[in-house]
Structure 1
Amino acid sequence: MSTQSMLSQQQLQQLAPVLQHYLSSELQLEVGTFDAQFLLDFVASQIGRQIYNQALEDAQQALSQRMESLQAAIWELEK
């Protein structure tokens, strides 16, 4: 595995069986624990930043909407 893993060893250990089950049940593909962890690490390194950035953008939009709602409520109280 790469030296700069996107996932912790604990996360890899927790997610590997999930990936193994998925690959087995959906694709009839059997992979070992090391291969599943290696694949998870690769996928996380390739798309992890995009997912993280999208989550931050979604949180920012939700917070902005909430702030607008609170601002409208305050304006209503001022009238």
Structure 2
Amino acid sequence: MTAPRTPLGAWPEWMRAETAAAFVDERSVETFRRRVGTLYPEPTRIAGMGDRWLRADLESAVAAAAGRAPADAADII
């Protein structure tokens, strides 16, 4: 089991599986990957970089799982 690492500083806009797993506080990268397509969104495949998850998509998935509507910029302003 590979434990995800929490990056120092701000979370990046695009995340590798390891970073995305830490962002959503999964126990391991393997657990995160098993939940992709059900709880978490499918990644975007970027040529030369591989699979990447967009931070906003992960935030929306977490909000939906909690039964909350994701924050909209209009709600914040």
TM-score, length-normalised on structure 2? 0.28
Flag the structure with higher strand content. 2
Flag the structure with higher helix content. 1
* Structure exhibiting the larger radius of gyration computed from Cα positions: 1
